[in-house]
Structure 1
Amino acid sequence: MLENFFLAVASSVVTSLVFGGGIAGVIVWLSKTWLSERIKNQIKSEYDQKLETHKAELKRDSDILIERTRSKLSISAKENELKFARLQERRAEVIADVYAKIHKLYFLFGACILMFSRGDTAGNNSRLDAATAARSDLYQYYSIRIIFLPQKTAENLQKLDEEITVTLGKFARRVNNTEQWDDKTDQDWIEICNHMTGEIKNIKIELENEFRQLMGDNTLSNSDEDFS
């Protein structure tokens, strides 16, 4: 009997120790797990806050940089627009001046042809001098401003100046009777002069069209002047 009692007590003690130790282990494990998760969540929360703060700072700096760049580009664009507008104004001014000078040459040169073709020799020297002065005035003006003119017009002006210089020289020799002429020579001269006036007229039309385009008018000119 006594032996059975001791066995029961021993069994009870062992059972208590086993179950008591298991519960304690579970409690310890749960405590560690909870504490670990809490630390992780706290770290994550702090990290998320810092990340959002960093993102906000980056966006703010980026917005400031974009705004500064946009402002600089806007200022630069306005400056370029102003420079272009001034350049266009200058081009328009040069074209208008060249047009006025070539218009004057057109009629003075035409007057030489008209009087000559009618056999009116009175005043030839004065008409020749006026046409020569007009050619010289035109050349001196456009030759140092040629960059403002359309390339085709500039080339035509240079070609015209060479041809009209030769033609006026020929007219001068005819006026001064230093070159022998006959009826065929007279006819050749008139054809040459008609060609020259045609070239002058074409350049005038080119200038008119270029000026209109600068003013925003795309209407093409086809003027048909006559000095007869």
Structure 2
Amino acid sequence: MQAVLSLYATGRTTGVVLDSGDGVTHAVPIYEGFAMPHSIMRVDIAGRDVSRYLRLLLRKEGVDFHTSAEFEVVRTIKERACYLSINPQKDEALETEKVQYTLPDGSTLDVGPARFRAPELLFQPDLVGDESEGLHEVLAFAIHKSDLDLRRTLFANIVLSGGSTLFKGFGDRLLSEVKKLAPKDVKIKISAPQERLYSTWIGGSILASLDTFKKMWVSKKEYEEDGCRAIHRKTF
């Protein structure tokens, strides 16, 4: 349902949503407002794994983060400093510009190649010995598992959702990788709404405002009187 709401937030009812949050990533093909269960793909690679990998990379550079509070610092560094490279092999060969990050205690930390190496895990899980598919493969597999007649439409209506799609360069890298997996004559279009961290909520608000949905509204008074029964009565 979350993926369907994310799609609604972009004004679409047909497309494929790549939703990558903190703990899991889903690719969900949707047709006319209904998710297609047989085509949904899931992989347990997401933001938390990037944070852990970043912590490992920083440790190799001599900076240790042990406690849960310190892990939150790593997560913040990830969100503010990391990016996805369109060509990681090329970036590895170059002298990567370091970004200075100020830690909570006032000291500073220079973050170099770890900035693009950490999120690379989303496309190459084998960097940490994980045999899962990369996000681009999960997306392409979900589309290929869908009906043949729908595939062109799905490739042209890819929607990003979730915090782990917010890395700078994510959309461009995903497009580059999906092109390698899609038929040559297929148009690929990726929608990356700025508000995609909240797209599920936005889609829900759009759905709730539709005239056809009003009969399912539950007032505060109704809920106070009947609790969950009021919701069940109107929706089931």
Common fold: TM-score over 0.5? no
TM-score (norm 2): 0.23
TM-score (norm 1): 0.24
Q: Which has the higher strand share?
A: 2
Q: Which has the higher helix share?
A: 1
